[in-house]
Structure 1
Amino acid sequence: MMHHGRFHRALVKVLSALCAVLFAALVLDVLWGVFTRQVLNDQPAWTDELARFLLVWLALLGGVLAYADDRHLGVDVLVSRLDPAAQRIALLVSHLGVFGFSLAVLVAGGVELFVSRWEAGQMMSALDIRKAWFYLVLPLAGSLITLMAGGKVIRSLKSFGERGEAR
């Protein structure tokens, strides 16, 4: 089994590269859409649909990256005033909440949404692909966040035997 540190770094590296590609594709798509609308006066319908697709995938996979490196939005005004033991408990509760939410909503709900859209045969009108592909990012991102949250829960539990703050 791969050491957590190496796995984490490899996952972040792959996700960073994927997000960079998605972002570049999004920028090119939007620029092409603006050019064809403003200059050629004939914007292809697929540019808007592709931009939505790429933006949703970029946002969710970017959220995975943010959580992986503890860069997600957080309000620590109250937690920072707690003693170190209470901070470790708050951190553990936070990671458990993320674990539960990502597993129940993103993974379970995302799989259900993906399967139902696949079975319904719904298509994205301009891109002419199954709409299920649009929703696949939910269980994908949810699985990655669940995996990371599980690791953070384990590290938080181990920190109770250590002194100082846990991360």
Structure 2
Amino acid sequence: MYVLNRFLHALLAWFSIGVFVILIADVVLGVGSRYLLGSQIRWTEELATFLLVWLVFCGAAIAYYDKAHLGINLLMTQLHPSARKITRLVSLLLVLVFTVTVMVWGGIQLTMERYGSGQMMSTLGIHKAWQYLAIPFNGCFIVLFNIGMLIETYKMTDADTELETNAISTEGNTDV
């Protein structure tokens, strides 16, 4: 699972880089056309919004894999290592339930609803459903990353949990 998640993380990172490069080119084109031609090319703003939505959700999945989301570790550092493991497993299970129900299942429902409604992006001429597809698409990545973290945490010993907690508590310490 670890190798699969590393591959998916790298794939998602490269996809995000591609989306970001296209977003930069689109914004430069939009701003340039506004100043050089006197009016902005119409589709550049809608494309920028579309790409930004995808970039945000891809970034959320990448940050989840990297354990870079905001967290408060004060309670975790005070617990016994076995209690830390249980707490981490419970929090991972809660994230898994939320991601499966809200992002994956709810995102699929939302995407299908938008597709069924025939709602189109006015200047791009594509279904609005493509924009909403970013939610379940990246939700699936988070689910896979979460399952890997669950397996990793379940296999941890108390010593591993202690080492991880010490690493977390000293992260960002700038003692002089």
TM over 0.5: yes
Instruction: Report what 2:54 is aligned to.
Output: 57
Which consecutive residues of structure 2, in runs of 5 or more, have no partner in the other structure? 165-176
Q: Separation in 2 of the partners of 1:88 and 1:64?
A: 23
Instruction: Report what 1:153 is aligned to.
Output: 150
Which consecutive residues of structure 1, in runs of 5 or more, have no partner in the other structure? none
1:30 aligns with 2:41: no
Letter matched to residue 42 of structure 1: S
Identity of aligned residues (%): 40
Deviations 1:82-120 (A, max 9, x none): 232222222112211211111000001100001011111
SS at match of 2:159: coil
Which of 117, 124, 128 is the matching residue for 1:127? 124
SS at match of 1:148: helix
Q: Which has the higher contact order (CA 8 A, sep 6+)?
A: 2
SS at match of 2:93: helix
Q: Is the Cα contact below 8 Å between 2:111 and 2:133 reproduced in 1?
A: yes
Which range moves more in the overlay, 27-36 or 77-86?
Answer: 77-86
Instruction: Report what 1:163 is aligned to.
Output: 159
Q: Separation in 2 of the partners of 1:36 and 1:42?
A: 6
Q: TM-score, normalised by structure 2?
A: 0.86
1:101 aligns with 2:78: no
CA RMSD of aligned residues (A): 1.6
1:15 aligns with 2:41: no
Offset at residue 48 of structure 1 (A)? 0.9
More helix by share: 2
